């Protein structure tokens, strides 16, 4: 027999179904707690947009941001998909189970059958800045409050961490890598963000070849910041003597708690801004739409369309591209670059749109240097870039050759100098793992090699060549991961 609560739930559901067209189930979308609109759950079609619940949201999302042609759904909603194995472990394989299984999505978006009534108590905001909790090397100095993973072996780690998302209050976000939402408290305590504000992402390295991935992403972000490009704040997070360090980044789409005013942020990647589904490179339609479709010239066109300072942002896109080339990052796809929009909720006004700070940059240290290529082509090429081809790309997106030359010199030089500096002075917390040391040395080797190829002066550096298989697969330190 059903208890009273079950009975209330089912009659509420029945009421909702009866009130919607064709008796379909419905979800409500809120942004910072304000109703945006609603969508119907259609077993065949998936989520279908039902319409806006309020005029100001209609004019913001409907008039200023791309919406799906078939039903008018804003593309950032249409593109909320489970793209991480952790959701398939939980059985959230399609969009409906992913969305109904969760509550909080990026940029303080809440989606649920009962929103806004079950909106989390508060929106996410920063309690402190990472800058207050790092040392001179950029290593996190706060206190890790959550228990460390039992294993860094990819499948075991995914299984262990996936249980977090059984709780629907734990935020959902995109990306293939295994990462968890964290709260960094004012005094530096770091805990999982379950009901506390989600302020930082923590990415664990994986066992084997990717044992140095925390160092890898941290170092690439340091190199990116050294070029002067706006870069997500980041830190290397020590996990004790038995595990290689992890990587942490601070969310740039939320304000500090102390911020006064009623500002909201919306992060939009270049699948969403181009009205494309976030298809994977392996999908049959991936040449037409998805993370790897089109070219960087097309991305630049979108930047010009949405940016409040188009020329600066086009230059930033150019620099961001050079960073990927300089460190051999093969993953600069349409979801690894975004724009961030600011909205004044008191005046119902979109204030600005800018290229978001750089994030998710890693170096393909295990690949041959000449095999490295970009996901999105520029000036018709994906690899083997010469100074001349980079200048043509600059010209294609509206940067004059003289300016492009300056940016190329500055970017490649700054990266090579900083890479050698890091590889020579690796933080002690990363030195106990031989794979981390090797990772930093390989990144310095790549950065110096790429800078020389561009004809840029570089510091002295003894190259560290790529280990051949199975050497590169050799576990780093005996027992390094045997916790």
For 190, the token pair is 């770091």
When asked if residue 85 is in the footprint of ligand ATP (CB under 6 A), the reply is: no
Measured CA to CA, the distance from residue 390 to residue 453 in angstroms comes to 12
Q: Which does 222 bind (CB under 5 to 8 A by kind): ligand ATP, Mg ion, none?
A: none
Indicate which of ligand ATP, Mg ion, none lies near residue 152 (CB less than 5 to 8 Å, by partner kind).
Answer: none
Closest distance of CB 336 from ligand ATP, Å? 5
Q: Classify strands 104-105 and 46-52 as parallel, antiparallel or unpaired.
A: unpaired
Q: Where are the beta strands (DSSP E) in 43-119?
A: 46-52, 104-105, 109-112
Please report whether residue 131 would count as binding ligand ATP according to CB under 6 A: no
Residue 184's closest CA among 148, 231, 144?
Answer: 144
Quick one: which segment of 67-75, 104-112, 261-269, 329-337 binds Mg ion (CB under 5 A)? Answer: 329-337
CB of 11 to ligand ATP, least distance (A): 39
Interface with ligand ATP, residue 412, by CB under 6 A: no
Window 201-260: residues binding ligand ATP (CB under 6 A): 201, 232, 249-253
Cis peptide before 307 (omega within 30 of 0): no
Q: How far is the CB of 171 from ligand ATP (least distance, A)?
A: 10
Which among 27, 114, 75, 117 has a CA at the least distance from the CA of 266?
75
Under rule CB under 6 A, residue 335 binds ligand ATP: yes
Residue 427 · residue 236 · CB < 8 Å: yes
Q: How far apart are CA 367 and CA 154, in angstroms?
A: 20
For ligand ATP, how many residues bind (rule: CB under 6 A)? Answer: 21
User: How far is CA 209 from each of CA 291, 464, 469, rounded to the nearest angstrom?
Assistant: 25, 16, 10
Minimum Å gap between C-beta 402 and ligand ATP is 33
- Selection from Mg ion, ligand ATP, none that 177 binds (CB < 5 to 8 A by kind) is ligand ATP
Considering only residues 263-282, where is the footprint of ligand ATP by CB under 6 A? 267, 269
From 31-39, 167-175, 218-226, 346-354, give the range in contact with ligand ATP by CB under 6 A. Answer: 167-175
Residue 336 contacts ligand ATP per CB under 6 A? yes
Residue 201 binds which entry of ligand ATP, Mg ion, none, CB below 5-8 Å type-dependent: ligand ATP
Does 175 bind Mg ion (CB under 5 A)? Our answer is: yes
Q: Dihedral angle at the C-alpha atoms of 196, 131, 189, 251, nearest 10 degrees?
A: 30
Report the residue number, 165 or 173, with the smaller CB distance to Mg ion. 173
- Report the interhelical angle of 434-453 vs 401-424 (nearest 10°): 150
Residues 348-407 that bind ligand ATP (CB under 6 A): 359-360
Sites for Mg ion among residues 343-382 (CB under 5 A): 360
Q: Which is nearer to ligand ATP, 362 or 445 (CB)?
A: 362
Q: What are phi and psi of 382, to 5 degrees?
A: -110, -15
Contact residue for ligand ATP among 40, 61, 76, 173 (CB under 6 A): 173
Please, what is the Cα angle at 298 between 359 and 352, to 5 degrees?
60
The encoded tokens of residue 108 equal 């303080």
Token pair, residue 88, equals: 């398939």
Q: 27: closest CA among 5, 7, 46, 2?
A: 46
- Out of 336, 411, 458, 476, the only residue in the binding site for Mg ion (CB under 5 A) is 336
Per CB under 6 A, the segment of 9-17, 67-75, 168-176, 378-386 that binds ligand ATP is 168-176
> Who's near 347: CB < 8 A, 6+ residues apart?
none
CA distance 298 to 270: 10
- Does the footprint of ligand ATP cover residue 124 (CB under 6 A)? no
β-pairing, 189-192 vs 143-144, is parallel
Nearer to Mg ion, 177 or 429 (CB): 177
Burial of 249 (0-12, 13-18, 19+ CB in 10 A): buried
Binding string, residues 39-78; x marks residues near Mg ion by CB under 5 A = ----------------------------------------
Q: Which residues bind ligand ATP (CB under 6 A)?
A: 173-177, 179, 201, 232, 249-253, 267, 269, 331, 335-336, 338, 359-360
Q: Which residues bind Mg ion (CB under 5 A)?
A: 175, 336, 360
């Amino acid at each position: 027999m059903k208890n009273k609560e079950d009975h209330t739930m089912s009659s509420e559901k029945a009421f909702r179904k009866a009130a919607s067209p064709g008796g379909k189930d419905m979800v409500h979308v809120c942004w910072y707690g304000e109703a945006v609109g609603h969508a119907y759950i259609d077993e065949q079609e998936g989520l279908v947009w039902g319409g806006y619940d309020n005029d100001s949201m209609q004019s913001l999302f409907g008039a200023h941001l791309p919406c799906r042609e078939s039903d008018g759904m804003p593309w950032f909603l249409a593109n909320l998909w489970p793209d991480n194995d952790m959701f398939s472990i939980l059985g959230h394989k399609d969009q409906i189970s992913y969305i109904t299984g969760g509550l909080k999505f990026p940029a303080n978006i809440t989606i649920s059958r009962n929103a806004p009534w079950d909106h989390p108590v508060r929106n996410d905001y920063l309690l402190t800045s990472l800058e207050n909790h790092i040392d001179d090397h950029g290593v996190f100095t706060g206190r890790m409050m959550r228990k460390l993973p039992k294993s860094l072996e990819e499948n075991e780690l995914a299984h262990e961490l996936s249980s977090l998302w059984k709780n629907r209050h734990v935020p959902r976000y995109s990306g293939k890598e295994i990462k968890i939402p964290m709260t960094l408290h004012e005094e530096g305590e770091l805990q999982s963000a379950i009901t506390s504000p989600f302020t930082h992402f923590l990415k664990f390295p994986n066992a084997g070849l990717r044992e140095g991935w925390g160092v890898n992403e941290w170092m690439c972000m340091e190199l990116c910041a050294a070029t002067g490009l706006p870069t997500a704040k980041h830190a290397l997070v020590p996990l004790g003597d038995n595990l290689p360090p992890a990587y942490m980044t601070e969310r740039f789409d939320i304000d500090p708690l102390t911020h006064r005013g009623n500002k909201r942020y919306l992060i939009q990647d270049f699948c969403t801004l181009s009205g494309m589904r976030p298809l994977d490179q392996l999908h049959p339609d991936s040449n037409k739409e998805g993370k790897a479709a089109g070219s960087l010239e097309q991305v630049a066109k979108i930047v010009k369309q949405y940016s409040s300072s188009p020329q600066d942002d086009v230059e930033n896109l150019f620099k961001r591209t050079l960073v990927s080339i300089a460190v051999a990052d093969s993953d600069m796809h349409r979801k690894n670059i975004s724009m961030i929009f600011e909205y004044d909720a008191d005046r119902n006004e979109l204030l600005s749109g800018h290229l978001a700070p750089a994030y998710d940059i890693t170096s393909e240290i295990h690949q041959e240097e000449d095999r490295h290529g970009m996901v999105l082509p520029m000036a018709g090429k994906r690899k083997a870039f010469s100074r001349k081809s980079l200048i043509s790309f600059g010209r294609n997106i509206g940067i004059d050759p003289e300016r492009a030359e300056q940016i190329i010199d500055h970017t490649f030089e700054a990266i090579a100098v900083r890479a050698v500096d890091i590889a020579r002075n690796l933080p002690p917390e990363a030195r106990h793992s031989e794979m981390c040391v090797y990772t930093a040395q390989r990144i310095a080797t790549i950065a110096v090699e790429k800078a020389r190829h561009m004809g840029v002066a570089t510091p002295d550096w003894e190259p560290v060549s790529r280990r051949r298989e199975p050497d590169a697969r050799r576990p780093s330190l005996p027992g390094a991961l045997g916790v």
